[in-house]
Amino acid sequence: MESLSRQLAQWVVGLRYNDLPPAVVDRGKGVTLHSLASVLLGSQARSGQQAVQLITSEEAGVAQGATIMVDGTTVTKGGAAFANAEMAMTGGKLDSFRMLTHPGTSILPGAFVGAETSGASGQEFLTGVAAGYEVMERLASDFIPTVMSRGFHAGPVFGIFGPAIAAAKMLNFSEDQVNSTIALCVHLAAGNLEGPRNGGVALREGAAVRNAMLAVSLAQMGHVGGDTTLEGDAGFYHAYTGNNQGKLTYSFVGDTQTSLDVITKGLGKDWMFLETLYRIYSTAGYNIAHVDVSAQLCTEHDIKYEDVERVEAVVNWMETQYPSPAFPSRREDAEARPGSTPYYTAYGVCRRGFPVLRSQQMGVADGDGDPPEVLELMHRVKLIPSHDMTLFGPRITIFTKDGKSYTKQSTGREFMWDFEEEARRIRDVIPGVPIPEGQFEEIISTCRDLDGEDRAARLIQLTIK
């Protein structure tokens, strides 16, 4: 049987735009728009600006490379990918897959490098993006909690594969070149949890996508990577999960065993990419449903803050011990505080939503200027961890002072919406972006009609002030 990387490479090379189901095309357009909005927001934050300054101070004057979004400077491909990824992460409008990875923060910066350097059309871009997401998410899906339990951060560890595949596809790599790209990503994958646990800041998807561009360049030059770098005895899964037999230390649903064979099962038929959701609020992804489900429950039953006695939320157990039960840096089932899950639940009850432009990265910390009723109610919200609840799918019950109770169960799929819903909701960032409203609307319309664009890289120019 052919190796995992060889099977993935064959699928990537053979994939065509016409093979993409309409829902996959739609999701590709949506994640592109979401990422661009986050880049625009992140370009104004301190860490986003620092990333741009770092790269431009070292690489300004490069004649042929790629473009830093918003800023417009041409730098190396890896430098542009790093700066754009750092801005995307800082902007806080991330997509999310299985809670602990944010594929778009690396895949889209890498895809735009591929599009710019290859002259890819909109259809070619969407095909590369779909391939990148599908490969990354299949490699990650069952293994994310186990990787985290070993001290690695699953976001950048798996995040290197998606942008490399997206760029390789747009550069029309052969099967051998894609296979080597995957193998080289194994060599370059990295990410660790310890820094943020003692006052540091994690080096995340920016570094992953910069390394991804190095892997692509090496494979393009003929570097041979090998065939069993994923499943081999000393390969990727042995290194990052502790074995190559599919044994799991932790799982979102309590499983202790999976199989490496499921990574390629149904490839091209069952699209894992469609499980990617939009993190519309700039908070840990598991909090977003607490805002919207609580708000909907109150709207449906006309429940006001004054009516509420207490709130209970049954949640997936791993959402209470972030980022891993092995190394928790945040216990959401501890005492409520601004920025905790009960805080967001209280916001949904009291305000029927949460400000889309509010984030610590953008200089507005949770708790600053919050309504007093939110800060009071959060102490009457109780989280109940469960091994049976789906991710991002809390069951929220509001108990009212008249002795009644009202319950709403989330499915975990409420934030997996189509492009038009993404366009409607992402427009709330317009007051906070550094370009005119008309220019942002042009980004929306270009993403909507991306499969008709001759050059996908036009979107890069539309971010420039």
Which CATH number does the domain housing residue 318 bear?
A: 3.30.1330.120
Examine the fold and report which residue of 382, 409, 436 is the final residue of a domain before the chain moves on.
409
Q: How confident is the model at residue 369 (pLDDT cuts 50, 70, 90)?
A: confident
Average pLDDT over residues 282-299: 96
**Cβ(380)–Cβ(309) below 8 Å:** yes
Q: How confident is the model at residue 1 (pLDDT cuts 50, 70, 90)?
A: confident
Residue in 251, 49, 75 with CA at minimum distance from that of residue 154: 251
Residue 366 has pLDDT above 60, yes or no: no
Q: Which residues pair with 381 in a beta bridge?
A: 311
Report the number of distinct structural domains present in the chain: 2
- Which of 103-123 are b and which e, b meaning 16 or more Cβ less than 10 Å from the residue's Cβ? bbbbbbbbbbbbbbbbebbbb
**Cβ(24)–Cβ(137) below 8 Å:** no
Q: How confident is the model at residue 364 (pLDDT cuts 50, 70, 90)?
A: low
Phi, psi dihedrals of residue 456, rounded to the nearest 5°: -65, -25
Q: 22-42 and 77-91 helices cross at what angle (nearest 10)?
A: 90
Query: What is the radius of gyration, based on Cα positions, of the chain?
Result: 22
Pair 8, 57 in one domain: yes
Pair 307, 327 in one domain: yes
Pair 71, 89 in one domain: yes
Rounded Cα distance, 29 and 19, in Å? 16
Q: Which residue has the tokens 């949460």?
A: 354
Give the single-character DSSP code of 399.
E
Pair 139, 269 in one domain: yes
- Each residue's pLDDT tens digit, 382-404: 999 999 999 999 999 999 999 99
Pairwise pLDDT comparison (386 vs 368), residue with the higher score: 386
- Each residue's pLDDT tens digit, 66-115: 999 999 999 999 999 999 999 999 999 999 999 999 999 999 999 999 99
Pair 142, 218 in one domain: yes
Pair 106, 172 in one domain: yes
Pair 118, 236 in one domain: yes
Examine the fold and report which residue of 368, 386, 409 is the final residue of a domain before the chain moves on.
409
Give the pLDDT score at 182. 98
Burial grade of 369 (CB within 10 A; 0-12, 13-18, 19 or more): exposed
Pair 153, 253 in one domain: yes
Q: 175-188 and 4-14 helices cross at what angle (nearest 10)?
A: 130
How do beta strands 74-75 and 308-316 pair?
unpaired
- Domain assignment of residue 249, given as a range: 4-279+418-461
CB atoms within 10 A of CB 172: 11
Which CATH number does the domain housing residue 88 bear?
A: 1.10.4100.10
Give the three-class secondary structure for 386: strand
Rounded Cα distance, 443 and 35, in Å? 11
Examine the fold and report which residue of 386, 409, 432 is the final residue of a domain before the chain moves on.
409
Residue in 80, 165, 384, 429 with CA at minimum distance from that of residue 279: 429
Rounded Cα distance, 241 and 257, in Å? 12
Pair 437, 395 in one domain: no
Pair 294, 264 in one domain: no
Pair 202, 349 in one domain: no
Average pLDDT over residues 3-20: 98
Give the three-class secondary structure for 101: strand
Pair 262, 354 in one domain: no
Give the distance from CA 350 to its chain's centroid: 28
